[in-house]
Amino acid sequence: MSKQWLRAVTTLSIAAIALAFAAPVRGQEAAAKPEKAAPKHFTGVIQSADATAGVIVKNSKDVSKTFKVGDKTKYSTADKKEAALADLKVGEKVTVAYTEDAGVLTAHKIGLPESAKKKEAK
């Protein structure tokens, strides 16, 4: 009986030690995954809007940015909550939610700036 007891204690001890070393490795694997970049925002006036060339927006400090648009890009205007790229008008003030990857700015959402939405709600 004591040999069985000794085997059980030894087996449990080895399992506990193995788990103790495995837990930090799992934490490192999870930390190594790259996080999704939080979208940035840019507010300005539309200079041009084209599916191939993208949407060019210029802010009040004369800074222009060109945003790549795709099938997943969402649009909204003062008239339409769910709009299309063709509904965007040159001269319209918008806010672009975008991410940057290797110098390419990809628009995820183009719509009214928050200040315009608040005015519209009143």
List, for residues 61-110, the tens digit of each pLDDT value: 999 999 999 999 999 988 888 999 999 999 999 999 999 989 999 999 99
| DSSP label at residue 82 | S
Nearest to 96 by CA among 47, 40, 50: 40
**Using CA atoms, how far apart are residues 111 and 74, in angstroms rounded to an integer?**
8
Model confidence pTM above 0.75: no
Phi, psi of 33 (to 5 degrees): -65, 135
Are 76 and 22 contacting, i.e. CB atoms less than 8 angstroms apart?
no
Q: How far is CA 26 from the centre of its chain?
A: 25
